[in-house]
């Protein structure tokens, strides 16, 4: 078949799709298959970036904003005071794409503390974690850090498909959240979510709007569309086609596109069609009273859209996933067209843009929400934190112990920060005076209570905490953490050896000998374990205490 004039032939002979609207592309089926296939392993293996949206600092910042938003609505209640608009129901917060649940844990830890100190302590609240893969939901239901929140009723979970679902069925309580059933305003969190669900792409050139349609070709006639390396084995290309009539037949979406046609020129931009439709359905749940808090990489204004580099900008990730920039300017348009408000930092973000988008008007306005956003996001938000922490991590070895502890406090006792600073801490704790060592012990306990483990042996936090305590000559405390470490990997010879050394310091030579023999059972060439066995046997270790 002859190619149309001016159109380049696809590089591979087998065409999987030609000139398809991006949001309808088979690429999104591959994306969904990736998350279904990987489950939480996508995060365990580091295939999906998440630190910047899954640390105590961002959890605390979002908790402050949500609490401020609740104050705005509760202060406006009939008769004043701090009763919810509908005191028989909680305020719900729905997290889209909750992944492994680490953000939810940090949010709930901070929110519970802040609410207990506020006049809203008796206002009901429930966090709802959602995602597509059932494996993720099963993981949340069994995670020990989430159990207290589930039992307390602060947390429930639901499966939610952002492409089509109009209601949520909560797994623990059985409650159905559907239009007309939600009595209070609704909050939604979407971090690193809109960049991974279907979008479209458009170009404006010489006052004409063009849609960027996708074509995919393959060297194979029938490739495995679920294969992790599919994006490496196919050719993805885009071609501009003039838009001659309303693109969506949806007045709100087409209105935003027409605004772009009038304001922009010679630029290509993503259009979050699925995100906007999802938000419209959630708005229906909320009775038009909605808070969206969203953090992602993306553009926040027409100026940033105009300055984009050419191309659609599909970014592949290891394992078969991909992402696109998020057009927060379009999301802002949607909210403003509905007489809503948008709060976003005035400065450009380095890695993560966080915006607050609001619908509905409490009689007193959104002053508390705006104040909380100013303090928690604008002045010292998660983007600044991640930028500075990345820089500081390169200089941990040059810091004093006081500086390292200050960094841990600033991080909200983040376990990842302690792991990055571990070697620097080990070099300093043994020679620290007793008051400073007590500060380190306090920090260790705070980090342990704040950790949300995915069961990664390579990031064995309790092993490292035990090493710090052993270095400070606190063998009994070190034993506790080495035993926690064995729950991650019962066959690790190094952990058995360290248990043995802790028992030696406690004078429990018989138990120490058992630990060293266990270390040798897993590593017959473990020379230090052999030396300790010989030393204890020579000293009559079997008659030691313990």
Q: Where does CATH 1.25.40.10 sit in the chain? A: 386-543
Exposed e or buried b for every residue in 350-359, given b needs 16+ CB within 10 A? eebbbbbbbb
pLDDT at position 77 is: 57
Task: Tell me how far apart the alpha carbons of residues 222 and 311 are, in angstroms, rounded to a whole number.
Answer: 28
CATH 3.40.50.150 domain range(s) in the chain: 54-196+278-323+330-379
Instruction: Using alpha carbons, select from 83, 76, 283, 331 the residue that is nearest to residue 187.
Output: 283
Instruction: Give the pLDDT of residue 7.
Output: 53
* CA distances to 176, 535, 540 from 519, in Å: 53, 15, 20
Strand partners, 158: 130
Q: What is the pLDDT of residue 343?
A: 96
With 0-12 CB in 10 A as exposed, 13-18 as middle and 19+ as buried, what is 346? exposed
- Tokens 């809109």 belong to which residue? 194
Helix ranges, 7-133 (H): 27-38, 41-44, 56-75, 102-117
Distances (CA, A) of 163 to 196, 199, 294: 12, 11, 18
Beta strand extents in 154-246 (DSSP E only): 155-159, 168-169, 176-177, 186-191, 200-205, 208-218, 235-242
Beta-carbon contacts of 458 under 8 Å, excluding residues fewer than 6 positions away, are none
Backbone dihedral angles phi then psi of residue 25, each to the nearest 5 degrees: -70, 155
Cα 153 vs. chain centroid, distance in angstroms? 22
Task: Report the 10 Å Cβ neighbour count for 307.
Answer: 10
Residue 176's pLDDT is 97
For 344-402, how does the pLDDT look when each residue is reduced to its tens digit (9 = 90+)? 998 888 889 999 999 999 989 999 999 999 999 999 899 999 999 999 999 999 999 99
pTM: 0.92
Tell me which of 1.20.120.530, 1.10.1740.10, 3.30.70.260, 1.25.40.10 is the CATH number of domain 386-543. Answer: 1.25.40.10
The count of C-alpha atoms lying within 13 angstroms of the C-alpha of 47, restricted to the half-sphere facing its C-beta, is 23
Length of the chain: 546
At the top level of CATH, the class of 54-196+278-323+330-379 is: alpha beta
List C-alpha distances in Å: 22 to 133, 264, 270, 455, 475: 23, 21, 10, 37, 59
pLDDT along the chain (546 residues), means of 10: 48 88 94 88 81 94 98 74 83 97 97 95 96 94 96 97 95 95 96 96 94 93 83 89 94 96 93 97 95 95 83 83 94 96 91 95 94 94 92 96 97 96 97 97 97 80 96 96 90 92 94 93 92 88 44
């Amino acid at each position: 078949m002859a190619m149309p004039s001016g159109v380049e032939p696809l590089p591979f002979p087998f065409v999987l799709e030609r000139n398809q609207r991006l949001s309808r592309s088979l690429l999104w089926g591959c994306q969904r298959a990736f998350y279904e296939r990987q489950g939480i392993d996508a995060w365990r293996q580091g295939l999906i970036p998440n630190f910047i949206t899954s640390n105590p600092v961002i959890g605390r910042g979002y908790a402050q904003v949500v609490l401020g938003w609740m104050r705005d609505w509760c202060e406006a209640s009939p008769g004043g005071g701090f009763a919810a608009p509908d005191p028989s129901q909680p305020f719900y917060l729905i997290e889209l794409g909750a992944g492994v649940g680490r953000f939810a844990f940090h949010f709930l830890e901070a929110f519970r503390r802040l609410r207990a100190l506020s006049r809203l302590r008796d206002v009901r609240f429930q966090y709802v974690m959602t995602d597509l893969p059932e494996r993720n939901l099963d993981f949340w239901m069994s995670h020990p850090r989430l159990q207290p929140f589930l039992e307390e009723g602060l947390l429930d979970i639901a499966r939610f498909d952002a492409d089509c679902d109009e209601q949520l069925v909560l797994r623990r309580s059985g409650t159905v959240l559907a239009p007309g059933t939600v009595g209070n305003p609704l909050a939604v969190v979407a971090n690193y979510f809109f960049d991974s669900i279907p979008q479209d792409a458009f170009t404006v050139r010489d006052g004409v709007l063009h849609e960027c349609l996708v074509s995919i070709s393959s060297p194979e006639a029938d490739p495995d569309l679920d294969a992790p390396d599919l994006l490496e084995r196919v050719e993805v290309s885009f071609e501009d086609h003039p838009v001659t009539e309303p693109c969506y037949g949806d007045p709100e979406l087409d209105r935003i596109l027409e605004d772009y046609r009038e304001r922009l020129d010679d630029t290509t931009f993503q259009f979050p069609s699925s995100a906007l439709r999802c938000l419209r359905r959630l708005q229906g749940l909320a009775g038009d009273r909605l808070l969206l808090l969203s953090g992602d990489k993306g553009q926040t204004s027409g100026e940033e859209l105009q300055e984009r580099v050419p191309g659609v900008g599909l970014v592949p990730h290891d394992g078969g996933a991909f992402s696109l920039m998020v057009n927060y300017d379009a999301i802002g348009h949607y909210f403003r067209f509905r007489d809503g408000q948008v709060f976003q930092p005035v400065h450009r973000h380095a890695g993560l843009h966080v915006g607050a988008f609001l619908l509905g008007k409490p009689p007193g306005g959104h002053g508390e929400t705006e104040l909380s956003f100013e303090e928690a996001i604008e002045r010292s938000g998660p983007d600044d934190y991640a930028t500075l922490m990345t820089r500081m991590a390169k200089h941990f070895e040059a810091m004093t112990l006081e500086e390292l502890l200050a960094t841990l406090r600033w991080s909200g006792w983040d376990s990842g920060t302690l792991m990055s600073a571990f070697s620097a801490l080990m070099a300093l704790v043994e020679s620290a005076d007793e008051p400073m060592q007590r500060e380190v012990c306090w920090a260790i306990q705070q980090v342990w209570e704040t950790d949300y483990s995915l069961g990664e042996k390579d990031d064995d936090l309790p092993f490292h905490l035990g090493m710090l305590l052993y270095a400070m000559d606190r063998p009994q405390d070190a034993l506790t953490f080495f035993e926690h470490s064995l729950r991650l990997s019962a066959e690790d010879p190094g952990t058995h050896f360290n248990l043995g050394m802790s028992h030696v310091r406690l004078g429990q030579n018989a138990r120490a000998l058992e630990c060293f023999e266990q270390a040798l059972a897993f590593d017959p060439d473990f020379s230090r374990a052999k030396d300790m066995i010989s030393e204890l046997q020579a000293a009559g270790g079997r008659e030691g205490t313990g």
